[in-house]
Amino acid sequence: MLAIVTATIGIGVAFIIVLLIRRDRLHVTHGLGWILVAAGFAVIGLFPKVIDIVARAAGVSYPPILALTLAVAILVIKILLMDIERSRIEARNQRMIQRVAMLEAELRQQQKSTAQGKTR
């Protein structure tokens, strides 16, 4: 039963990702990562023995903990990458706001000097 649920989640997530990319709600580079995660879910759901084989090869005595550890590690890396990207966007956004403000200041000065020229 658990295998079916996990596989369904994987396939469902993959379907949603494809839909989001199709509707331009998700950039294809982000979608790629999530498709891989969804594929991982589906594979583990449909073939749970895969985890047992990998765990045995890695010397892990309790296979489910390997799946959980990998999932947590992937999530942590993903969140960290998101924060790095957010920091970059924040900096770019801040510099654009600064630039707009400087240009507005120059525009105001020009308008002021033009108005003063007209009154003379």
Partner 1 sequence: MSNVSTPSSVAGASDTVVLIPAFNEAACVGRVVENVRSHTGLAVVVIDDASTDNTVAVAEAAGATVIPLPAQLGAWGAMQTGLRYALRKGYEIAVTMDADGQHLAQTIDQILAPVRNNEADVAIGACTERGSLLRRIAWVLMKSTSGLALEDVTSGFRAYNRQAIGALAGWRATLLDYQDIGVLLLLQHEGLRIRDVSVEMCAREEGKSRVFHSWLIVAYYMCCTLLLGLTKRTMLTGKRATKPC
Q: Applying CB under 8 A, which residues contact partner 1? A: 87, 90-91, 94-95, 97-102, 104-105, 108-109
Contacts 24+ apart (CB under 8 A), 26-35: 33/78
28 or 102: CB nearest partner 1: 102
As measured in angstroms, the least distance from the Cβ of 15 to partner 1 is 38
Q: Give, in order, the Cα–Cα distances in Å from 110 to each of 17, 24, 32, 48, 117.
A: 50, 41, 49, 70, 10
Q: Would you say 53 or 107 has its CB closer to partner 1? A: 107
Tokens, residue 29: 């580079």
Comparison of 68 and 104: residue with beta carbon closer to partner 1: 104
